[in-house]
Amino acid sequence: MNYLENINQIILPIREIEIVYKHLRYMGKNEYEGVALWAGHFENEEKFKITTTIIPKQKSSNIEDGLFYTVAGDELDAVNKYLYLNNLRLVAQIHSHPNRAYHSETDDKYPIVTQEGSFSIVVPNFAKDNFELSQWAIYRLKTFMVWYEITLNESNNIFKII
């Protein structure tokens, strides 16, 4: 059986990054955070290939206390059905922040990806800048609601952009 916590390499096509950045920039034009999901399949026990970007229906809010997005339960159900019907595994969520990239308390408590070993990626500045892996804050789920940030060196070893 393939477990996300065994992944030590993710093949990430640049086209999937471009799809996400287009969405995050679109949302950011109105000062909203956006979210996307990456799915794919295992190539072996430790190597995963992202093949699909999912942009779930989302509601974004800009309130006095900050920014946030929500994805309704029926949409999450639809995403799960899509994954099942297409034999895909969800490996990462990627979302934007208006300024610096970090995992907020809300990000820690309410992720879409919940399987140990999955990734949560935060892109700064509503993805207005050109793509650079070094600008991302990348977190990995250790156990329920326990995330740890992976270093840039680890990110460069795990994510192979093609």
Answer yes or no: are the C-beta atoms of 127 and 154 closer than 8 Å: no
Question: Which pLDDT band holds residue 128 (cuts at 50, 70, 90)?
Answer: very high
Highest mean pLDDT among 62-71, 87-96, 128-137, 140-149: 87-96
Q: Specify the CATH number for the domain of residue 48.
A: 3.40.140.10
**This model's pTM is above 0.85:** yes
Q: How much is the average pLDDT of 103-110?
A: 88
How many structural domains is the chain composed of? 1
Task: Find the angle CA(9)-CA(13)-CA(19) to the nearest 5 degrees.
Answer: 130
The domain in which residue 48 lies consists of 4-161
The model's pLDDT over 56-102, given as tens digits with 9 standing for 90+, comes to: 998 877 766 667 788 888 999 999 999 999 999 999 999 999 999 99
Give 109: exposed, middle or buried? Use CB within 10 Å, 0-12, 13-18, 19+.
Answer: exposed
